[in-house]
Amino acid sequence: MTRSKTPKSNNQKSLISRRAALKGLGAVAGGSAALGLAPGFVRYIQVSAAEPLKIGFQAHRTGIGAAYGRWYERTTNAAVKLINDAGGIAGRPIQLITEDDGTDPKRGSEVVEKFASQHKVDITFGTLFSHVVMGSAPRAGELKMPYYVVSEGHHVASGALNRYTFQPGITDVKAQVSSMAPWIAGNLGKKITMIFPDYAFGYDHRDYFSAAIEKQGGQVLKLLPIPATETSYTKYFPQIPSDTEVLYHVMVGPGVLTFVKEMGEFYGSNRPQIFGFIDSLEAVDIASPGLEFLDGTYFWEAYPRYAQANQSEADKFYRAAVGVDNNGASLEDSKDVATYSHMFGCWETLYIIKEAVEASGYQSATAADKKKLVEATEAMKGWKEGNEHPQGDKTFVGQIHQCFGHQFISKVAGGKLEVVHKTEIADGTYEPETDYTKMAL
Amino acid sequence: MSFLETKALSRRFGGLTAVDTVDFRLEAGEIRAVIGPNGAGKTTLVSMICGRLAPSDGTILFDGTEITHLPPWERVARGIVYTFQITSVFRNLSCFENVALAAQRALTLGKAPWHTVDSSALASSVTDALARVHLHERSDTPAANLPYGHQRLLEVAMSLALKPKLLVLDEPTQGLSEAEITDFCSLVREIAADATILLIEHNMDVVMELAERITVMSNGAILAEGTPAEITANAAVQQAYLGA
Amino acid sequence: MSLGPHLLLALMEGTVAAFVLALTALGLTLVFGVMRIVNVAHGEFFMLGAVFAWAFAHLVGNPALGFLVAVIASPIVVGGAALVIDRAILRRFNYQPEATIVATIGLLYIIQQLVLIFYGPDARSVEAPINFRVQLPWFGYSGYKLVVAGIAALLLLATWYGIAKTKLGLVMRATQFDSETAQAFGIPVDRVYAAVFALGAMLAAIAGVLIVPIKQAYYLMGLDPLLLSFIVVIIGGLGSLRGAIIAAFVIGISDGVISVFFSPNLSKILATLLVALVLIFRPEGLFGGKAR
Amino acid sequence: MDRHRSLAFHGGALALLFLLQFVLPPYHHTNFTSIMVLATYGIGYNILIGYTGLLSLGHAMFFAAGLYAAGLTVHYFNIDPISAFILGAAAALAFATAVGLVALRTTGVSFMIVTMMFAQACFLLILYFNQVTRGDEGLVLSGAARQIGGLSLTNPTFRYNLALALFTGALVLCYILIRSRVGRVLVAIRENEERVKMLGYHTFRYKLLALALSGLLSGAAGASYALMFGYVGATFASIEYSIFALLWVLLGGAGTVLGPIIGALLMFYLVEWTSEVTQSYRIVVGAALVLLTLFFPKGILGTLREKRLRWLP
């Protein structure tokens, strides 16, 4: 995923709570600095019966990915704690080593290098932004380092990466957008105008949604790419053809609130159907002033942010463990909204790593063991909904290293999101475009 | 036809006319002094002759060809060499390197920048130029370490290394001691043996000593021109400049 | 939408953008004109203006009153910061042009990171002091944007008056013309430099305040106005106030129109090409005097 | 005498870099590889700012020209890495010459502004032609395409020595240039361009030559980066990467041959160490720039040269 997400809009958070949050971040930073020292001690002491399994977590602590990175860390820490409390992986505790990549591809590949050569981790995981994945994956492949990303980009499944890079915890964008098309065509309309960010993440939407909606007999009337740095949108709206039935938006960047506000000013009450990707409003409170215009519009969600009437036990468990309330905000600060449709991927990926390590009989960071781990991961077929996979059932296609799951469509009502449709996994699956298992290990 | 000739040459800065339709002639082999009060347009005039400033109007002819729009480096190639009023030697380079910059140019005229220079030809050319100003023994001294008077001489040596046909000296004796000025005058006479000299000068003793003819400028125009004796006798000059 | 109204909307957007750009670029070119330095952190003053506007509006609470406080207080704070920078850094190496560029790049990084630490990575909005929608026959338009254009026009006039008609302006122009002579005539050149640097920063900050109800305050928002201002001052001629304002309108409006009909990235690329053309035919800019 | 000392100094530095590969732990081994490539970019930048006195803030466009020319041809046309490298360097050379023809019409701060704007336009062009470049996400070059005579560019030893060879080439080129008569003219232009003009030099041509060489080295570094590390992305064309080159050169010492690599090394490890205790590495970069201008305007080697090693080129 590639987008300037950091800048979520929130005009109510006070400076005080910001400082409190910063303190928290500082503590996390301090803690992980201490962790960074830990490997040395562990080596010398050599007392623990079970040598820990080292997992390198490539985190976006700074740079444009920071707002997402924060929640990725919280989710990851929660899952690691649970796994360790339950006896770890194959009897070994996870030792999580977190390094900031600055949301920069060059630094990303250096971090992978550092994990492999300096920290000597067993596995690297957790990268979100596409360009960092693209910058880091080649090095991971060269180092033969199993690399589990949580990015939702189509880069893994497209065959652009390598045998050591997996995305087992989150459905890719191609599958997400393809699975939306039938419902949109059936319920909202067939003449679509797309507003999307003018960079890689947006192109996946542009290419795969256009194809999918045409299959449903629909038609994309107009494509409106918006540059990454844009902060004013009024000038784009006149380009929306007047016979547009559905406005499809996946807006990100510092100006999401502005985008909605200006759309409201432009249309008044006389608007087409509007369908958006929640990426537009991840980490943003739907009840923020200025977002009233979105009432009655629809959103894709990977995982419903607001606890629904039929909330599963697994979701209750997951929310409690990560520290998220029923509105998708932090238990400590109701204004601190989670990136709920993405961060579950970290949780589920960690459990998949656990399963793969245990199934492969992985012992130590040797080339032979890492090969076994890769093959064991490729051999997996999918997972059932449960505490380890709270988002829902998934299938996994070993050839393309990519999983596929259910998607949700929610309607904005009274400042909340209500699920109106849940897709089938088959709605989004596609023919494999590559076969990593044929590549040399 | 004159060696150097300007026709109706003018230069305006915004509303100010620094040089106003000047017709100026200089014959080969002459030592000519240009004098005049501050702001008379002397430096502006020679700057246009050397190509540091573009004229607003008028033409400049040198050695029979028009050079009005030629860039400075092409004028240097034709033999017009300017010696700066404010000492502009390269302070961090040695005397040798300073002069070598000029000599190297003279040896590579018309050739591409990467053209190699025969180092013995370069060395002899540099040593010659330094010897003419009696600085050959300080060849390795960084220019910054020279006393001021010697820096002026180094400046002249750089110009000599360019093999000038017309050497423009802009207030060369400013800041020199009496003894240095005497030496300087004899140096200029030596140079004049094979180059025409155009001299801007405030020191009237130097002017009277060196100049064969004198041009007096005032308010951007030529007020008078003639031998030192004629100029000394000229009433208008006395009134405007010598302040009578 | 048909071509006419479409073009009208593009022109309106472009004009509003041009007014804000003119204010920002005016600050940049003023500093260059008088002090002969380029402030690469100029965009960060714009950003600081917006961020402080958020802080003041937030402290006050009431949107209209909060905005009023922000319009006055935010530029003062930013101007103060500029004074500190002038005293603590720029004056120490005597405004040497290259050193100034390097030091202000450093400041750009420092200011951005400080804002990230104390303000955070979020884009935060400030409510507009007046909130009405102008309904045209073809589309609706934000009333506040028209107000922004009005205020910016007044500020441009005030700046022009200050420079052309007041004693302070005279002193500034004298310093710009020849700082050594000005010094000799007893003008405190040092203090004039400090004042001009602060004034330049304040102009950028006010532009930031005005824009924040439209665009929100965000710690990386300074780069775009900086680059656009650069384009403007090069086309207008470095140091030329009149050139900067005219060029701001050329660039602002053409950017508005081109990005409506084509791609915004394309419009910025075209603006850069325009600069290349201007340089080929008039290296000193359209309104610049010959370099002295 | 000085000449010998200086040759020994630089030869010693290269020998040290060669020997380091046998003792460096793997993580730092790779870091040194990339630092040598980036220092080549720094040397290119230094020819312009350090020796010719032209301050550019757009050098990332030349680095990116090499990066993309090499990367795209490998990705789309599967050409071999050696041809791709030559192509990348040549593309940067041609591009730098074209940019120079326009940008060198300005001087001083205008030159800085114009180069910065051109670089930003290049950055936007990369995004604009996203169908080819994949915009910000960029492209990954497959390991299979990155083979020279059966040796893989992913092999750390091979890669380290290639980077060393590239760096050595750049260093030797820079050394020869500044010792040459042309180099003397460039330095003279830095000191006083007006005087050089009046010595009869067509200074524009010399500046253009400096910019072209500078672009060539930057592009060679960019092409090498793409081929050695297998990733091509728009980040490398961003203003940040122009500023990095400036920072390395100023820190190491503008107008010193070894300055760029000293600056790049120090900056890399400074950021590396500070990022373990703070997330605000940008403050470190910013403070480094401000402190340099205030207290060490000549950088590390420049200050050393002033104090003791006067013979340092």
Per-residue pLDDT reduced to its tens digit, D198-216: 888 888 999 999 999 999 9
pLDDT score of A10: 39
Query: In the numeric block, which tokens belong to residue A437?
Result: 């298992």
Q: CB–CB of B163/B132 below 8 Å?
A: no
B90 interface with D at CB cutoff 8 Å: yes
Report the run of H or E that residue D234 belongs to, with start and end: none
Interface partners of chain A (CB pairs < 8 Å, 3 or more) are: C, D
Res. C288 pLDDT band, cuts 50 70 90: low
Q: What percent of chain C has pLDDT over 70?
A: 97
β-pairing verdict for A147-148 and A123-125: parallel
Distance CA A406, CA A390 (A): 12
Mean pLDDT, range A125-148, rounded to an integer? 91
Coil, helix or strand at residue D16: helix
- Burial zone of D124 (CB within 10 Å; 0-12 exposed, 13-18 middle, 19+ buried): buried
Residue with the larger pLDDT of the pair B91 and D74: D74
Partner residue facing D182 (CB), from B81, B91, B114: B114
Residue C178: what pLDDT? 74
Nearest to A36 among D26, D234, D276 (CB): D276
D118 touching C (Cβ < 8 Å): yes
Select the residue of C36, C106, C265 nearest D290 (Cβ to Cβ): C106
Residue of D289, D295, D296, D298 to mutate, interface with C, max C Cβ within 10 Å: D289
Report which residue type is found at C228. Answer: L
* Chain C, nearest residue to A69 by Cα: C121
Give contacts of A 218-237 with D, CB under 8 A: 227-228
Distance from C-alpha of B159 to C-alpha of B130, rounded to nearest angstrom: 11
Q: What is the pLDDT of residues B146-199, one digit of tens each?
A: 888 888 888 888 888 888 888 888 888 887 888 888 888 888 888 888 888 888
Distance (Å) of CA A420 to CA A184, A249, A304, A329, A383:
12, 18, 11, 21, 24
What is the CA A322 to chain-centroid distance, rounded?
A: 15
Do the chains A and C touch each other, judged by at least 3 C-beta pairs below 8 angstroms?
A: yes
d(CA C227, CA C251) in angstroms, rounded, equals 12
Gap between the Cα atoms of D79 and D313, Å rounded: 39
Torsion of CA C265, C266, C271, C273, to 10 degrees: 120
Q: Is the pLDDT of residue A37 over 60?
A: no
Nearest to C218 by CA among C282, C126, C109, C288: C126
What confidence score (pLDDT) does residue A19 get? Answer: 41
Q: Is residue D19 part of a domain?
A: no
Does D68 fall in a domain? yes
Decide if pLDDT at B204 tops 50: yes
**What's the confidence (pLDDT) of residue C1?**
57
As for how many domains chain C has, the answer is 1
In a domain, D233, yes or no: yes
- The structure's pTM equals 0.83
Closest-CA distance of chain B to residue D180, Å: 9
pLDDT category at A245 given cuts 50, 70, 90 is very high
How many beta-carbon pairs below 8 A join chains A and C? 115
- pLDDT tens column, A161-184: 999 999 999 999 999 999 999 999
- Sign of the CA dihedral with D266 first, then D272, D275, and D280 last: positive
What distance in Å separates residue C217's CA from the closest CA in chain A? 9
Calpha distance D127→D135 (Å, rounded): 4
| Token couple for C287 | 């309104």
Instruction: Give the chain B residue whose CA is nearest to the CA of D189.
Output: B90
B113: confidence class by pLDDT, cuts 50, 70, 90: low
Is the minimum CB–CB distance between D129 and chain C shorter than 8 Å?
Answer: no
Over 70: is that where the pLDDT of A15 sits?
no
What's the 3-state SS for chain A?
Answer: CCCCCCCCECCCCCHHHHHHHHHHHHHHHHHHHHHHHHHHHHHHHCCCCCCCEEEEEEECCCHHHHHHHHHHHHHHHHHHHHHHHCCCECCECEEEEEEECCCCHHHHHHHHHHHHHHHCCCEEECCCCHHHHHHHHHHHHHCCCCEECCCCCCCCCCCCCCCCEEECCCCCHHHHHHHHHHHHHHHCCCEEEEEEECCHHHHHHHHHHHHHHHHCCCEEEEEEEECCCCCCCHHHHHHCCCCCCEEEECCCCCCHHHHHHHHHHHHCCCCCEEEEEHHHHCCCCCCCCCCHHHCCCEEEECCCCCCCCCCCHHHHHHHHHHCECCCCEECCCCCCECCHHHHHHHHHHHHHHHHHHHHHCCCCCCHHHHHHHHHHHHCCCEECCECCECCCCEEEEHHHCEEEECCEEEEEECCEEEEEEECCHHHCCCCCCCCHHHCCC
Task: Kindly state the tokens that stand for D160.
Answer: 């380290």
Q: What is the pLDDT of residue D213?
A: 94
B64 in the Ramachandran plot: left (φ > 0), alpha (ψ -120 to 50) or beta?
left
Contact criterion met (CB < 8 Å) for A134 and D25: no
Q: Please name the helix (run of DSSP H) or strand (run of DSSP E) that holds residue D9, with its range, or none.
A: helix D2-23
Give the pLDDT confidence score for residue A14 in this predicted structure: 38
Confidence class for position A232, pLDDT limits 50, 70, 90: confident
- Report chain D residues whose CB lies below 8 A from the CB of B108: 181
Q: With beta carbons under 8 A apart, name residues in chain B contacting D187.
A: 90, 93
Could C122 and A235 be called an inter-chain contact, meaning their C-beta atoms sit closer than 8 Å? no
Among A391, D2, A253, residue whose Cα is nearest residue C215: A253
Contacts of A23 in chain C (CB under 8 A): none
Tell me if D188 and B90 make a contact (CB, 8 A cut-off).
yes
**Looking at the domain assignment, is residue D283 inside a domain?**
no
Contact B72 D191 (CB under 8 A): no
pLDDT score for D279 = 66
C84 to A256, A352, A426, C88, C90: CA distances (angstroms): 35, 55, 63, 6, 9
Question: How do beta strands D147-148 and A94-100 pair?
Answer: unpaired
In-domain check, residue D204: yes
Q: What is the mean pLDDT of chain D?
A: 87
Q: What's the mean pLDDT in B7-18? A: 82
Asked, for residue C43, whether it belongs to a domain, the answer is yes
DSSP state of C288: P
- Under 8 Å between Cβ of C245 and C232: no
Residue C286 belongs to some domain of the structure: no
Q: Give the span between the Cα atoms of C278 and C235, in whole angstroms.
A: 7
Name the minimum distance, in Å, from the CA of A8 to any CA of chain C.
5
Q: Pick from D31, D137, D231: which is nearest to A200 by CB? A: D137
CB A372 within 8 Å of CB A360: yes
Parse chain A into domains and list their residue ranges: 36-171+343-405, 173-301+407-427
Range of the domain at C167: 3-281
Cβ contacts below 8 Å, chain A against chain D, sum to 105
Cβ C102–D250 below 8 Å, yes or no?
yes
- pLDDT tens readout for residues D166-196: 999 999 999 989 888 888 889 888 888 888 8
Give the nearest partner residue to C230 out of D117, D287, D288, using CB atoms.
Answer: D117
Chain A residue nearest residue D31, CA to CA: A110
What pLDDT is recorded for position C263? 73
pLDDT band at A17 (very low <50, low <70, confident <90, very high): very low
Query: Using the beta-carbon criterion (under 8 Å), do C120 and A18 form an inter-chain contact?
Result: yes
Give the other-Cβ count within 10 Å of B43's Cβ.
19
Task: Write down the pLDDT at residue D133.
Answer: 86
Interchain CB distance below 8 Å, A231 and C141: no
What domain count does chain D have? 1
Average pLDDT over residues D139-146: 81
Q: Is the pLDDT of residue A209 over 80?
A: yes
Percent of chain C whose pLDDT exceeds 90 = 20
Question: Is residue D245 in some structural domain?
Answer: no
In a domain, C291, yes or no: no
- Kindly tell me if the per-residue pLDDT of A348 is higher than 90: yes
The answer to whether the Cβ–Cβ distance between C113 and D283 falls below 8 Å is: yes
Of B50, B100, B109, which has the smallest distance from its Cβ to D198's Cβ? Answer: B50
**At C81, which CATH number?**
1.10.3470
pLDDT at D23: 86
Tell me which chain C residue has its CA closest to the CA of residue A255: C215
C80 and D249 in contact (C-beta within 8 Å)? no
Q: Is B102 on the interface with D (CB under 8 A)?
A: yes
Chains C and D touch (3+ CB pairs under 8 A): yes
Query: Is C171 a member of any domain?
Result: yes
pLDDT band (50, 70, 90) for residue C176: confident
Contact with chain D for residue A114, Cβ under 8 A: yes
At residue A104, the pLDDT reads 87
Average pLDDT over every residue of D224-247 = 90
Q: Are 3 or more Cβ–Cβ pairs between A and B shorter than 8 Å? A: no
Phi/psi at A160 (5° precision): -75, -15
> To the nearest whole percent, how much of chain A has pLDDT over 90?
50
Token duo for residue D87: 């192509």
In angstroms, the CA B19 to CA C244 distance is: 32
H-type helices in B53-203, by residue range?
72-78, 95-107, 119-132, 148-161, 178-192
- Alpha-carbon distance of C168 to C183, in angstroms, equals 15
A298-301 and A408-413 as β-strands: parallel, antiparallel, unpaired? Answer: antiparallel
Query: Do the domain assignments include residue D63?
Result: yes
Which distant-in-sequence residues (6+ apart) come within 8 Å of C285 by Cβ? C233, C234, C235, C236, C237, C238, C240, C243, C278
Q: Is B120 on the interface with D (CB under 8 A)?
A: no
Question: Which residues constitute the domain of residue D167?
Answer: 29-237
Task: Kindly state the percentage of chain A with pLDDT values over 70.
Answer: 87
The 3-class SS string of C88-122 reads HCHHHHCCCHHHHHHHHHHHHHHHHHHHHHHCCCC
CA nearest to D202 within chain B: B73
Mean pLDDT of chain A: 84
Instruction: Residue C246: count other Cβ atoms within 10 Å of its Cβ.
Output: 18
Whether chain B has a CB inside 8 Å of the CB on D185: the answer is yes
Average pLDDT over residues A7-19: 39
A49 pLDDT more than 60: no
Q: Is the pLDDT of residue C161 over 90?
A: no
Q: Looking at residues D128-140, what average pLDDT do you find?
A: 84
Q: Are A88 and A55 in contact (CB under 8 A)?
A: no
| CATH top class, domain A36-171+343-405 | alpha beta
Q: Please determine, for residue C140, whether its predicted confidence score (pLDDT) is greater than 80.
A: no
Question: Chain A residues contacting C, CB < 8 Å?
Answer: 6-11, 13-15, 18-19, 21-22, 62, 64, 66-67, 198, 225-227, 229-232, 234-239, 242, 254-258, 262, 265-268, 289-290
pLDDT tens for residues A292-304? 888 889 999 999 9
Query: Is D306 touching B (CB cutoff 8 A)?
Result: no
Best of D21, D124, D125, D140 to disrupt the A interface by mutation (most A CBs within 10 Å)? D140
**CA-wise closest residue to A401 among A435, A362, A360:** A435
Distance CA D311, CA A357 (A): 60
Q: In 3D, which of C150, C129, C126, C111 has the Cα closest to residue C50?
A: C126
Q: Return the CATH architecture of domain A173-301+407-427.
A: 3-Layer(aba) Sandwich (3.40)
Give me Rg for the CA atoms of chain B: 18
Q: Which of D109, D133, D246 to mutate to test the interface with C (most CBs of C within 10 A)?
A: D109
Contact C224 A229 (CB under 8 A): yes
Is 70 exceeded by the pLDDT of residue C128?
yes
Residue type, A434: T
Nearest to A257 among C54, C120, C125 (CB): C125
Supply the pLDDT for residue C160: 85
For chain C, how are helix, strand and coil distributed in percent, rounded to 5? 75, 5, 20
Tell me whether residue C272 is in a domain.
yes
| pLDDT higher than threshold 80 for residue D11 | yes
Q: How far is D232 from chain A (nearest CA, A)?
A: 8
Please say whether the beta carbons of D61 and D91 come within 8 A.
no
pLDDT of C235 higher than 90: no
Looking at residue A47, its pLDDT comes to 40
Q: Indicate whether D287 belongs to any domain.
A: no
Q: Is the pLDDT of residue C10 over 60?
A: yes
pLDDT, one tens digit per residue, over C66-116 is: 888 988 999 999 999 999 999 999 888 888 888 888 899 899 989 988 888
Whether D220 and D89 have beta carbons less than 8 Å apart is answered as: yes
C-alpha torsion sign, points D214, D37, C105, C280: positive
